[in-house]
Structure 1
Amino acid sequence: MTSTNETRPPAVRERHYPSDTTDAEWAVLEPLLPVPACALPTGGRPEKHPRRNVVDAIRYVNDNGCKWRAVPVDFGIPWRTVYGYFQRWRASGDLARILAELHQLVRVHDGLNPRTVAVILDSQSVKGAETVSKDTRGFDGGKLINGRKRHLAVDMRGMALAIMVTPAAPHDSIPARDQLFRLRLTHPELVIAWADSAYGGTLVDWSHSFLGITLKTVPRRKDQDGFAVLAKRWRVERAISWIMRARRNVRDYERLISHSEAHITWTFITLLVRRLTRPPRPPRTPPHAVEPLETSANKPKPIRLRKQSNTIRLAPAVLTY
């Protein structure tokens, strides 16, 4: 008969999946996680499983796109427990808080102001699986996709500020009002936003009048044939490609819209944590060279200006009869 200590899973498991957290990543992410219930004044049951294993299991599902029931057994956690953590952290708002705090940490890490004043907006339509209900899906006539639409707001480095998922049927300008309103509440320092021509029209005047945000559209080029890199817009399109690296986001399988937003949030959390464990990103353009001081040897010669007379010459008058 085995003892209780032998049947209990080890606290530190072997990390051999690409989605597992490294020691440096866990040192960044662990302080941001919510306080356990047993440490609160109200009290609670101590957690049975190590949180690092829980985070690794959630990231495994998000990165590989498997079902919750297919969580590997080497994590040592039942799949219902992993799903419970995923759902509770999403419902309590801790997931959105972690993303916001990581966003500020990354900007400071790169030598930028923690609060950005400019954002870029765009949307992406994805197909919905049979698990997506009829009430939470729609048909995008422009992309010919039956599913949901993701609305992203990123800063100038492509890091997400706001994530919103809606049915794919409404035009981009309709849910954009809700997205811009949320941005104004959570980021009052915002001044300007860029988007494609679908966000134009009355939305530009509404954003400036009611929210104080200048919305500028970046249209396609007149001679553009196929894909082309457009100013400002390429940053949010790159962020959308980052989302698609996680296979759980390639297609929408979630019954709840909030769970779709949570999977996208976990994708950006993974990207931001990994960026914090790397050296700071250098600026795109090198700094301007310092001009040498003027000396007698390289002092430029004075420029002589020809003095003009104050006489005003009038053109000859044209006589008409």
Structure 2
Amino acid sequence: MAERRPYPSDLSDARWALIEPVPAAWRAERRRSALNIGRPPEHDLREIMNAILYVDRTGVQWRYLPHDFPPWETCYGYFAKWQKDRVFAQLTGVLRRLLRQQEGQVAEPSACVIDAQSVKTSTSVPAAGQGTDAAKKVVGRKRSIVTDTLGLLLAVLVTAASVQDSAAGTHLVDQVAASHPVIRKVWVDGGYRQHLVEHAATLGINMEIVQRTPGTRGFTPLPKRWTVERTYGWLMFHRRLARDYETLPARSEAMIHLAMADLMARRLTGEATISWHDSISQDQTPIPG
């Protein structure tokens, strides 16, 4: 079979070298634990990852994957298995540590930022998994993320939009305290309540609520917190995240981890991220940040 023409979302050799160890270790472990090893895998891991990135980057439905990728059923099957086994979260962690070290930081952060974003959902999302964010007037889901001070993802939680920021924040603070025990400082906005500050204190984390200056109108970057807002902007380079299309919240979280992994891999290798309008002009714009 002739080699297919590459898509802009395809992994370069340099980015695949960074990403390959994680899915390769997953496949090796699956084969070791199988009762009957059987025939070797039919499809190349790199092509499967390229197909999943294509979905995340372009927003196309799985059934609309171009035919020169492996069958869509195979690609979706791998995505579902990798989500369940937290392969995307592992990949985010590996790349984040590498990027922090490249930026002259220690591998594990000591401070972080939490923020939430409400987004509309597609018809594939069950009504029971949606809600209304009264403050934002959005019916759908809420993405709550934790980033380090460079804006790199530490944790993500997807809930109904009606879930209060503090409720999601409690879950995320517990998760961060368990997986990143050196964190001692976290910044949040005024949507988070005092009881969350007190809960964080019981975990040895100093939580600071960064308030807007009274009388300020329009968008104004807030000290310390602007980095997490910039991260949401980075993630929007992936059209699959412009709306929540995933039936399961855990699949939404996996798509966010994958988008961040893609961004970090490009930043590590110095490659450009093509924005939506650049697909027309063919100009390549360096990754923000």
Q: TM-score, normalised by structure 2?
A: 0.89
1:20 alignment partner in structure 2: 10
Q: Which residue of structure 1 aligns with residue 79 of structure 2?
A: 86
The amino acid of 2:211's aligned partner reads P
Q: Read off the aligned partner of 1:24 and give its amino acid letter.
A: A
2:229 aligned to 237, 243, 251, which one? 237
Q: Distance in 2 between matches of 1:134 and 1:45?
A: 42
1:251 paired to 2:247 = no
Decide whether the 8 Å contact of 2:10 with 2:54 is kept in 1.
Answer: yes
Equivalent in the alignment of 1:63: 57
Task: Quote the Cα distance in structure 2 between the aligned partners of 1:243 and 1:94.
Answer: 19
Q: Residues of 2 paired with 1:44 and 1:201: CA distance? A: 56
**Match of residue 21 from structure 2:** 31
**Residues 233 and 47 of structure 1: CA distance in aligned 2, closer, same or farther (over 3 Å):** same
Instruction: Report the Cα offset of residue 252 of structure 1.
Output: 0.7
Structure 1: distance between partners of 2:54 and 2:18? 19
Whole-angstrom distance in 2 between the partners of 1:264 and 1:56:
16
Q: Does the 8 A contact of 1:152 with 1:160 survive in 2?
A: yes
Per-residue Cα deviation, 1:90-138 (whole angstroms, up to 9, x for no partner)? 1112221111111111111222100000000000000011111122110
Counterpart-to-counterpart distance in 1, 2:81 and 2:39: 15
What's the counterpart of residue 131 of structure 1? 124
What is the alpha-carbon distance in structure 2 between the residues aligned to residue 111 and residue 71 of structure 1? 39
| Alignment of structure 1 residues 34-49 onto 2, 5 Å | 34-35=24-25, 36-37=27-28, 40=32, 42=34, 43-49=37-43
Kept in 2: contact 1:150–1:165 (CA 8 A): yes
Q: Is the 8 A contact 2:24 2:45 kept in 1?
A: no
Q: Does the aligned pair in 2 maintain the 1:34–1:94 contact within 8 Å?
A: no
SS in 2 for 1:74: coil
Of the three residues 263, 270, 273, the one matched with 1:271 is 263
Q: Secondary structure at the match of 1:197?
A: coil
Specify which structure has the higher proportion of helix.
2
Partner of 1:156: 149
8 Å CA contact 1:57, 1:82 repeated in 2: yes
Post-superposition shift, 1:85? Answer: 0.7
Residue by residue over 1:127-178, the C-alpha shift from the partner in whole angstroms, topping out at 9 and shown as x without a partner, is: 0111111221100000111100000100111000001101110210111111
1:204 Cα deviation (Å)?
Answer: 0.8
Q: Distance in 2 between matches of 1:28 and 1:145?
A: 38
| Match of residue 208 from structure 1 | 201
3-state DSSP of counterpart to 1:199: coil
Runs of 5+ unmatched residues, structure 2:
272-288
Report what 1:225 is aligned to. 217
Residues 1:243 and 1:121: Cα distance change in structure 2 (over 3 Å) = same
Give the match for residue 95 of structure 2: 102
The one-letter amino acid of 2:233's match is S
Give distance in 2, aligned partners of 1:240 and 1:198. Answer: 17
CA distance in 2, matches of 1:266, 1:93: 11
**What is the rounded CA distance, in whole Å, between the counterparts of 2:224 and 2:215 in structure 1?**
19
Identity of aligned residues (%): 38
Show CA shifts across 1:178-209 (max 9, x none): 11001111111110000101113211112102
Give the letter aligned to residue 261 of structure 1: E
TM-aligned CA deviation for residue 244 of structure 1? 1.3
Q: Distance in 1 between matches of 2:55 and 2:209?
A: 37
* CA distance, structure 1, for counterparts of residue 130 and residue 207 of structure 2: 28
The alpha carbon displacement at 1:214 in A equals: 0.6
Query: Distance in 1 between the 2:183 and 2:33 partners?
Result: 37
Deviation, structure 1 residue 44? 4.8
Alpha carbon RMSD of aligned pairs, Å?
A: 1.7
SS in 2 for 1:236: helix
* Residues in 2 aligned to 1:194 and 1:277: alpha-carbon distance in whole angstroms: 30
Q: Flag the 1:39–1:255 CA change in 2: closer, same or farther, 3 A.
A: closer
Q: Structure 1: which 5+ residue stretches go unaligned?
A: 1-8, 285-321
Aligned pair count? 268
Distance 1:202 1:39, change over 3 A: closer
String of CA shifts for 1:17-74, please: whole Å, max 9, x gaps: 2111111111111122243257526435411111111111100000100100000012
User: Which of these residues, 180, 199, 210, is aligned with residue 187 of structure 1?
Assistant: 180
Distance 2:157 2:232 in 1: 13
* Inter-partner Cα distance in structure 1 for 2:147 and 2:52: 24
Return 126-135 or 59-68, whichever deviates more.
126-135
Shift of 1:14: 3.0
Contact 1:137 1:169 in 2 (8 A): yes
Give the 5 Å matches for 1:110-125: 110-125=103-118
Partner Cα distance (1:69, 1:260) in 2: 18
**4+ aligned runs moved over 4 Å, structure 1:** none
